[in-house]
Amino acid sequence: MRERKINLDFNDILICPTPVSDIRSRSECEVGKVLPLFTAPMDTVVNRNNLHIFKDFNICLPRENNGPHVDEDIFSSYGIEEFEKLFLENTVEFTKANILIDVANGHMRRLHHTVSLAKKKYPHMVLMVGNIAHPETFEILQDAGADYIRVGIGNGGGCLTTVQTGVGYPMASLISECAFVKKESKIIADGGMKNYGDIIKALALGADYVMLGSILNRMLESAGETVIIDEVTHKRFRGMSSKSVQKDWGRDTLKASEGIDKMVLVEYTYVQWVSNFRDYLRSAMSYTGCGTLEEFIGNVDIIQISNNAYNRFAK
């Protein structure tokens, strides 16, 4: 095994405040009407019945069984075979299309080839692809023409890939290294956000957007089935490679599951979570002297910390 540097995750770093900030109050910091966040395309998070609540989010819908959709304002998800059959073997007319080619392994040469063909055939199609867990793969998909690239494998609250396969790449280093080689493609940090601080660190490292699944599932308004257990409200949460999803998609042969399926506590409403996130993000921006997200994303100082330093403030 060749020697490699140690890569870092969110618990290994902190955002360093600027020595002097001219910002007097976090209320001076602008985060925009639509936050730098995406809904994860998970059927226990968002669907067509509740997408209207996500007014502060960019929306990415999960794959649907009732036929293909091409939407201008949201991202519609397709498996790679479904996408190739619909868009490459045929010609689809549209004014604007936001499309996610949703594959677990974005390192497949087939995906790179499909992206290249699609962008040549549909120059105005906005393509999101992923997931990937290597900065060189980010470059390859970027050169193929992908507009948004989801980075992160095995970190998500509904994903068992890294646990079961041993494959992955620590998110803090992955985001930072992808940001270093980024040109026009947007980085979507996808999976493993435990709290507000992780999301804000991902943006500080250079992610243009953060995609959220389990955090949104714990909202009262999420698409997960609601169940009352011992007079306490719970939501069903499942990864999109779980066996229950495979069954719902009508697969005759079920593959080994790389996703969980469980009940989780409802912890907050949509309004409560969004209000808190806006305040915490503005606060981080004020500490770093950044009045806008453009100034903050990928442009602040990051320091590495020890386990003792993390344990000191972790609660």
Residues annotated as part of the active site: 159
Pseudo-torsion of CA 286, 295, 99, 71, nearest 10°? Answer: 70
Distance CA 177, CA 199 (A): 17
Name the residue type at position 236. R
Q: How far is CA 211 from CA 35, 106, 274, 305, in A?
A: 11, 16, 14, 25
Q: Give the 3-state DSSP-derived string for 151-182, with helices as H, strands as E and coil as C.
A: ECCCCCCCECHHHHHCCCCCHHHHHHHHHHHC
Backbone angles phi, psi at 208, to 5 degrees: -75, -30
Query: Which residue is it, tokens 């009407």?
Result: 33
Instruction: Provide the 10 A C-beta neighbour count for residue 21.
Output: 14
198 within 8 A of 155, measured Cβ to Cβ = no
State both tokens at 144: 């193929």
Residue 302 CB coordination number (10 Å)? 17
